Amino acid sequence: MSDLDKISSVFNAKIDSVKTKDDLQNIKTEFFGKNGQITLQFKTLGSLDPEKRKKFAYNLNKIKEDLTSQLEQKNIEIETSEINEKLKNEKVDVTLPFRPYRQGKIHPVSQVIDEISSIFSEIGFSVAEGPDVETEYNNFTALNTPEDHPARDMHDTFYLEENKKLLLRTHTSPVQIRTMISSKPPYKIIVPGRTYRCDSDQTHAPMFHQLEGLHIDKGITMGHLKGCLDYFIKEFFEVKNVKMRFRPSHFPFTEPSAEVDIGYKIEKGKIVIGDGDKWLEVLGCGMVHPNVLRNVRVDTKKYQGFAFGIGIDRLAMLKYGINDLRAFFEADYRWLSHFGFDPLDVPTNYRGLSK
């Protein structure tokens, strides 16, 4: 057997066991590398006499071609099987059942703000906003709240600096001032927003939500206030009749002032709004004090009107049977998935608020 035949048969014996790209690289080096068996044969060509060299070169080239094409063939085989393996592993079985995924929920407070905004927009109120950090002037002074009023006490108000000029607003009423300073009457706005007081128990949180209402125009009376709130309460609780009671009260920025209670009863351990002999306080209201209007340069001979402030969290607790206010702000996903709302169900008056 000639040297070339030997090389060929060694190669043929080895090529079958080549399975990976690494194996392939090894066998290439063994035969075609710098000191490879075929390469070394080429190096002998120079020392042969011309006749022999011609024949040997011819045979050598034939073997080279044969081995090279076997190597290429092997390369294709390996690549094909690699692709097949990959396809097998990455196969998606579209008939498998889907995995449940977590859908985001709308917080009851956001839901109730949307509901309330929808209800008031039906009767011509627009939504106004103001910052959480307020001046002492907007939060108190302009609202006819004298320096010695208990609401200014350090126990209730979070002041942001020593000289008490900046604070976290204790109610949404300062937006009355902002609105009336920056535009001309008439005013017909609601203001949903965050408010802060230094207080915390089952029904009080240091941060809570209020909704302010303000309607100033020519000839607005307490009758309009009653009608407006009556409409609101019925729409909000989605009931035909609600017993409402106006109780005389005091706020520095309204005169006269009232607190509004709504009737309810307990049935099978649950609160039923509208009827019954129990009363629940839900909001404060009154006719805007002339001093407040004068502070914002509204002509009190031409204009007057009412304002109200509703505790949003309280309404949400009542409507959706939530007992502890603090749970609202704990950001517990389990709580939210139980009490939260579908993000695609935007509340509207005509389609239903909470259904």
* Contact with ligand PHE (CB under 6 A) among 187, 308, 339, 341: 308
Structure tokens at 27: 């066998």
Phi, psi of 70 (to 5 degrees): -65, -40
* 20-58 per-residue burial string, b: 16 or more CB within 10 A, e: under 16: eeeebeebbeebbeeebbbeebeeeeeeeeeeeeeebee
Our CB check for ligand PHE shows the closer of 318 and 353 to be: 318
Shortest distance (Å) from residue 284 CB to ligand PHE: 3
Cis peptide before 186 (omega within 30 of 0): yes
- Do residues 259 and 249 make contact, with C-beta atoms less than 8 angstroms apart? yes
Is residue 173 part of the contact set for ligand PHE (CB under 6 A)? yes
Number of chain residues interacting with ligand PHE (CB under 6 A): 11
Our CB check for ligand PHE shows the closer of 8 and 139 to be: 139
Q: Which stretch binds ligand PHE (CB under 6 A): 92-100, 157-165, 238-246, 279-287?
A: 279-287
Give CA–CA dist 285/125, Å, rounded.
16
Our CB check for ligand PHE shows the closer of 52 and 247 to be: 247
* Contact with ligand PHE (CB under 6 A) among 27, 180, 285, 296: 285
User: Per-residue string for binding with ligand PHE, 230-269, x by CB under 6 A?
Assistant: ---------------------x--x---------------
Give the Å distances, CA to CA, from 99 to 91, 96, 179, 288.
17, 9, 50, 57
Residue 221 φ/ψ region, left for φ over 0, alpha for ψ in the -120 to 50 degree band, beta for the rest:
beta
- Do residues 281 and 311 make contact, with C-beta atoms less than 8 angstroms apart? no
Our CB check for ligand PHE shows the closer of 91 and 155 to be: 155
Our CB check for ligand PHE shows the closer of 78 and 151 to be: 151
> Which helix (H) or strand (E) is 132 found in, with range?
none
* Contact with ligand PHE (CB under 6 A) among 37, 309, 315, 319: 309
Shortest distance (Å) from residue 344 CB to ligand PHE: 34
Neighbours of 326 (CB within 10 A): 12
Give CA–CA dist 215/120, Å, rounded.
12
How far is C-alpha 354 from the chain's CA centre? Answer: 20
Our CB check for ligand PHE shows the closer of 23 and 255 to be: 255
* Contact with ligand PHE (CB under 6 A) among 171, 209, 215, 314: 171
* Contact with ligand PHE (CB under 6 A) among 211, 242, 296, 307: 307
- Do residues 186 and 303 make contact, with C-beta atoms less than 8 angstroms apart? yes
Is residue 67 part of the contact set for ligand PHE (CB under 6 A)? no
Q: Which stretch binds ligand PHE (CB under 6 A): 21-29, 116-124, 282-290, 340-348?
A: 282-290
Is residue 193 part of the contact set for ligand PHE (CB under 6 A)? no
**Which residues sit at the interface with ligand PHE, rule CB under 6 A?**
171, 173, 212, 251, 254, 284-286, 307-309
